[in-house]
Amino acid sequence: MSPLSGSNWATLEARFRHAPPGQSRDNEPVSRRTLICAAAAQAVLVGTLSVALVIPLGSGFFKHWGWIIGPIAWLVCALGTALIVRLPYRRTFVGALLAGIPSGIAVLAGEHTLGEVVAIGLFAVWCAWRAPLPMAALDA
């Protein structure tokens, strides 16, 4: 018997239908709530930490030491986001590392702000993404 026959197919098909407005689906591939919360938390934390550091240290400090302070601050804020949004720390840390790669490339290209926006977006998608259910779970 095919894994996509009969009730398996109906279950898989139902999985990809849209939920009515105002309701969420437990099995959707990306959690909108987590996406929004992770993006907002990371943006607020990064912005707050940036302001908190630039006031006492001045912008000149970041011109010389930003290459090391920026990634450390990004990772610290990601762990704060994991705490606030209640995400797994290791998975969130890996997502922050991966989202930081395009940000680093943008910084090297002279587009720091664009890099931050892209990194926050990628990081939020990583945090909100859910692994698809295996076919065996659809049988239950």
Whether 30 and 69 have beta carbons less than 8 Å apart is answered as: no
Q: Could you give the number of structural domains in the chain?
A: 1
Interatomic CA distance for residues 125 and 119, integer angstroms: 10
What integer is the mean pLDDT of 101-116?
Answer: 91
Check: pTM over 0.75? Answer yes or no: no
Has residue 111 been placed in a domain?
yes
Has residue 81 been placed in a domain?
yes
Q: pLDDT category, 7, cuts 50, 70, 90?
A: low
Has residue 18 been placed in a domain?
no
Residue range of the domain that includes 70: 31-139
Q: pLDDT category, 116, cuts 50, 70, 90?
A: very high
Interatomic CA distance for residues 72 and 30, integer angstroms: 27
Q: pLDDT category, 22, cuts 50, 70, 90?
A: very low
CA 46 to chain centre: 14
